[in-house]
Chains A and B, each alone.
Chain A
Amino acid sequence: MNPILEAFTMVATTEVAIAVLASAVYGMVIGALPGLTATMATALLVPITFYLSPIAAVATIITSSAMAIFSGDIPGCLMRIPGTPASAAYTDEAYAMTRKGEAELALGTSLWFSAVGGIVGTVALMIMAPALAEMALSFSTFEYFWLSLLGLMCATLVARSSPIKAIAAALLGLLVACVGIENPGGVPRFTFGSTDLLGGIEALPALVGVFAVSEIMRALVSPLPPRIPDRKLGSILRGQWGLTRRFQKQMWRGNVIGVLIGALPGAGADIAAWVAYATSKRFSKEPEKFGTGHPEGLVESGAANNSALAGGWVPALLFGIPGDTITAIAIGVLYMKGLNPGPTLFTEKASSMYALYIIFILANVLMIPLGIIMIRLSRHVLKAPRAVAMPLILLLCAVGAFAIGNNPFAIVLVAVFGVIGYMMERNGYPVAALVLGIVMGTMVEQNLVSSLIKSDGEILPFFERPISSGLAALTISALMWPVAVWVIRRLRHAEPAR
């Protein structure tokens, strides 16, 4: 059968339809509640995906994350609290519009350009991934080593924190990945005699701990969010077509920025939104209007964060390198469902790939009607008290972690990583870099060790192949970049002093 036709039959099942609808509602609600992020929504979904068919399992992740990134804008618009970090970049702008009495326009802009961004991102994924897959087929362990290292370096570069702390966080993640017997010698490494640690530390309990438990911990020491004001909302989509025509260039630029940043390992929707908002202001004809309730930046960054979601799947599907924290979780699900990431996925399982594309498009189209319903219901959803939502999440963390392998040790890991994530965040260490290190640790080590065995312990062959040397140059410049920035800053500060 034609793979595209086959893909349609894979998607057109009751199971997938229910999975998409249910996860859409779930994503919308979680994203809208402040403090509950899209990554957390995805991590808590994984135990459920065990019981679904491969396509339905991946569909739940794609749909819920897309919905959560959009609905994170709702409390941003109405209460000036971003529902997810991806909305933080333009929350002030959206709230300023609400204060001017343009809440409908702000919410509509978020919804409309999120959906457009998601669809453009998907098209980019459809074009970029097969082209890159051709190239990836010729990669050897040397290229994979540099690529995974470059991914880690990128994550440290884009983190809004000290680059040294980010590198330390990534190294910590790699160290976590060292635990277990899955190493070149097959010997127990850092297991301290525990049989539970022999199989290594699974990424999922670590992710649930770092993203969900640490958030509950933070809620216990932070003030309550303000109450949502009661107000009636008018037509949501009115005026969006006008905005699309007026800010066409900004929309496209936001989409491109989103896809590129999404594809960069470790950088996801939140960073895409920050960069797009900054770019929008920088190139705007009326930058003075930014921050006063001007839709231009909202258009660009709203499109960017949703297109970044699709972009994140490019390196995930091709190389097994997560483009953001959501795909870091999705990779585990892909492996579990026999859709092992790699360039051959596009040749051997082409129909599954097409099915994923269809689900991406479906999710983003579905976002508009569901988003309107969610906006209308937001007054009620946002009244859900934190003091009840957070305990429920905690219970789900425990049950979900246990459900992964029916092993209570996973719950202990969730608790431990909750503490690690909380302590790291409070002290300026980016947790995304830690997560990337945990997910990619085995891959980095395997490629490093097999390359070293192939080269007889020589370093030179790491730089001999053309693509490999190019990737090496990029990795080393990524490492040196913060040093360069520091030197430039130093020189600039020194000049006025003279």
Chain B
Amino acid sequence: MHLSDRVTGLFLALLGSLAFWGGSRLPAVPGQDVGPAAFPMAIGGGLVICGVLIAAGIGHSFEAKDTAEDDQAPGLARWLGRLGWLAAFLPPVLLIGYVLVVDTLGFLLTAAIMLLVSARALGASWAMTIGVMLIAPPVVHLAFGKLLRVPLPDGLLAAPW
């Protein structure tokens, strides 16, 4: 998603001023001049300056031309049409979804759903999607859950090992 320099610059300036303000409210260390406030305030100040310069378009001449295109992507992006750029945000949504449901559904089911949605969104055929859905979750569970002893939740469907 491409935003104008004015938008990103002003966002950074806002973030910087919030950091400056938030930093200034931190309690000082008794008997010392420099405390936890100094660093965030310095960074916040720097971000405000950078943000304003970026919004003003300074330094733009150093940038390489953006060659990326948001078109001809298969799967979800094509299906969404003009809103195709939204497809990019599927992976973080899936990750948050994973956190929310993994304890209830268990690792095997959650992983399979995650693979189903992301593979189809990337334009995989049904045969490929079902193959990866059936094979990958048990293999990952075997590697991480069994061998590396990561406590992956069982939920509705426990692994047989």
Q: Do A and B come from one complex?
A: yes
Chain A positions within 8 Å of B, measured between CB atoms, are 47-48, 50-51, 160-165, 167-168, 171-172, 174-175, 178, 183-187, 189-190, 213, 216-224, 385-388, 390-392, 394-399, 402-403, 406, 408, 411-412, 414-416, 418-419, 422-423, 426-429, 444-445, 448-449, 452-453, 456-457, 482, 485-486, 489
When A426-B2, A427-B2 are in contact, do A223 and B72 touch as well, CB less than 8 Å?
yes
B88 engages A395 (CB within 8 Å): no
Rounded to whole Å, the gap between the CB of A383 and the closest CB of chain B is 12
The CA-CA distance from A482 to B62 in the complex, in Å, is: 9
Is A387 a contact partner of B122 (Cβ separation < 8 A)? yes
C-alpha gap A482/B60 in the complex (Å):
12
A-B contact count (CB 8 A): 234
Taking CB atoms, residues of chain A closer than 8 Å to B122 are 219-220, 386-387, 390-391
The 0/1 profile, CB within 8 Å of A marked 1, for residues 141-161 of chain B is: 000100010111000000000
Contact partners of B61 in chain A: CB under 8 A:
486, 489
In the complex, the answer to whether B1 meets A423 with C-beta atoms within 8 Å is yes
Q: How far is the CB of A54 from chain B (nearest CB, A)?
A: 17
Query: Using Cβ atoms and an 8 Å threshold, which residues of chain B touch A220?
Result: 73, 75-77, 87-88, 90-91, 121-122
Q: In the bound complex, what is the Cα–Cα distance between A327 and B35 (angstroms)?
A: 30
Instruction: Give B30's nearest chain A residue, CB to CB.
Output: A185
Cβ-defined partner of A175 (8 Å) among B19, B114, B121: B19
| Contact (A221, B87) CB under 8 Å given A184-B29, A394-B94, A408-B102 | yes
B40, B63, B89, B128: the one within 8 Å of A388 (CB): B128
Contact A51 to B148, CB < 8 A, known contacts A183-B39, A387-B123, A391-B132: yes
A-B contact pairs, 25 of them (CB 8 A): A47-B144, A163-B59, A167-B46, A171-B46, A171-B47, A172-B47, A175-B47, A184-B29, A189-B36, A190-B22, A213-B91, A216-B118, A217-B88, A217-B89, A220-B122, A222-B69, A223-B74, A224-B123, A391-B122, A395-B115, A398-B98, A423-B1, A449-B39, A452-B38, A453-B34
| Cβ A161 vs Cβ B64 within 8 A | yes
| CB neighbours of A185 from chain B (8 A) | 26-29, 35-36
Is there an interface contact between A449 and B53, defined as CB atoms closer than 8 Å? no
Known contacts A395-B140, A419-B92, A448-B39: does B28 contact A162 (CB below 8 Å)? no
Q: Which partner residue on chain B sits nearest A441 by CB separation?
A: B39
Across the A-B interface, give the 6 residue pairs with the lowest CB-CB distance, nearest first. Answer: A387-B124, A162-B59, A185-B36, A387-B122, A415-B92, A391-B118
B84: chain A residues within 8 A (beta carbon): 221
Q: Does B43 contact A (CB under 8 A)?
A: yes
Q: Which residue of B lies closest to A392 (CB)?
A: B136
Dominant secondary structure of chain B at its interface with chain A: helix
Q: Are A178 and B39 in contact (CB under 8 A)?
A: yes
Give B contacts to A, CB under 8 Å. 1-3, 5, 8, 12, 15-16, 19, 22-23, 26-29, 32-36, 38-40, 43-44, 46-47, 50-51, 53-54, 58-64, 66, 68-77, 84-85, 87-96, 98-99, 102, 111, 114-115, 118-119, 121-124, 128, 132, 136-137, 140, 144, 148, 150-152
Q: Which residues of B contact A482 (CB under 8 A)?
A: 59, 62
Chain B residue numbers with a CB within 8 Å of A422 are 1, 88
Chain A residues positioned under 8 Å from B148 (CB to CB): 47-48, 50-51, 403
A174 partner, pick from B43, B87, B136, beta carbons under 8 A:
B43
CB atoms of B150 and A406 under 8 A apart: yes
CA distance A161 to B61 in the complex (A): 9
Q: Is the Cβ of B64 less than 8 Å from the Cβ of A396?
A: no
Contact of B91 among A388, A394, A427 (CB under 8 A): A394
Residue contact A452 to B34, C-beta cutoff 8 Å:
yes
Q: Which of B39, B54, B58 has the most CB of A within 10 A?
A: B39
Give the complex CA separation of A482 and B61 in angstroms: 11
Q: Are B53 and A396 in contact (CB under 8 A)?
A: no
Q: CB < 8 Å: which of B15, B58, B66, B115 contacts A164?
A: B58
A485 to B59 Cα, complex, angstroms = 11
Select which of B19, B99, B140 is within 8 A of A408 by beta carbon.
B99
Measured between alpha carbons, how far is A394 from B114 in the docked complex, in Å? 9
- Distance in angstroms from A386 CB to nearest chain B CB is 6
Is A187 within 8 A of B36, CB to CB?
yes
Q: Which residue of A lies closest to B139 (CB)?
A: A392
Chain B residues whose CB sits within 8 angstroms of the CB of A219 once the complex forms: 122
Contact of A390 with B64 at beta-carbon distance under 8 Å, contacts A396-B140, A406-B150 already known = no
Measured in the bound complex, the distance between the Cα atoms of B81 and A221 in whole Å is 11
The answer to whether B69 touches A223 (Cβ under 8 A) is yes
Q: A319 to chain B: closest CB distance in Å?
A: 19
**Which A residues touch B71, using CB under 8 A?**
223
Partner of A162, one of B43, B60, B88: B60
Say which residue of B16, B88, B95, B128 sits within 8 Å of A398 (CB atoms).
B95
Interface centre among A187, A222, A394, A406 (most CB of B within 10 A): A394
Contact check: which of A161, A190, A387, A427 meets B75 at CB < 8 Å?
A387
B87 touching A213 by the CB < 8 A rule? no
In the complex, A489 Cα to B49 Cα: how many Å? 23
18 extra interface residue pairs, beta carbon distance < 8 Å, beyond A171-B47, A185-B29: A164-B50, A168-B12, A168-B50, A168-B51, A184-B29, A185-B28, A186-B36, A220-B73, A221-B77, A221-B85, A224-B73, A394-B91, A398-B98, A418-B91, A427-B8, A444-B39, A449-B38, A457-B33
In whole Å, how far is B129's beta carbon from the nearest beta carbon of chain A?
A: 8
B43/A184 in contact, CB under 8 A? no
The verdict on A416 contacting B75 (CB below 8 Å), with A163-B59, A189-B36, A423-B1 known, is: no
